[in-house]
Amino acid sequence: MVAVMEPWITVAEKLGYKVLAEAHYYGAEIANDAIDAETFTKINRAVARGVDKIHEDIRPYLRYFIEQAAPIAELEPGDFKLGRLRYIHPGPYPQDHFDRTVAWVASWGLIDSDNEFEALVDNTKILQEA
């Protein structure tokens, strides 16, 4: 079993492989102190505008997936399952996602379960007006 994103899901289907399960990538933009809040806000504003354009009509942007996959498979816009392509505005990293992830990784003995959200996650930059 392997986990891939588009356009590789569509490539695999075009090559005859079957999808066993699907999940959606939540996405995360990570910035350290080298990126000031103003720059990070501008980046997130640009991402939000891109999401809005994609939501208007994703079909013009499929060409980027098609170009990326060209060395392996010849894709056409009709090959894509458009409902699979989901994009959202940037937002804060939710504590419940953090807690669930920490609990799962800790259940495998890979980390201690005493990781604190407030100590590891700083949502203040993303919480600024985008």
Q: Which tens digits make up the pLDDT trace of 53-86?
A: 999 999 999 999 999 999 999 999 999 999 999 9
Amino acid 25: pLDDT: 76
Whether 61 and 96 map to the same domain: the answer is no
Q: How many domains does the chain have?
A: 2
Q: Is the peptide bond before 60 cis (omega within 30 degrees of 0)?
A: no
Amino acid 130: pLDDT: 47
Query: What pTM, to 2 d.p., does this model score?
Result: 0.76
Whether 70 and 102 map to the same domain: the answer is no
Whether 100 and 74 map to the same domain: the answer is no
Q: Residue 130 domain-assigned?
A: no
Distance (Å) of CA 32 to CA 7, 47, 105, 120, 123:
30, 18, 23, 12, 11
Going by the DSSP 8-state scheme, the letter that residue 16 receives in this structure is T
Domain of residue 110 covers 92-125
Whether 15 and 56 map to the same domain: the answer is yes
Whether 75 and 120 map to the same domain: the answer is no
* Two tokens, residue 85: 């392509």
pLDDT beyond 80 at 31: no
Determine the average pLDDT of the residues in 23-46: 82
Q: How many residues does the chain have?
A: 130
* Two tokens, residue 114: 């005493």
pLDDT beyond 70 at 49: yes
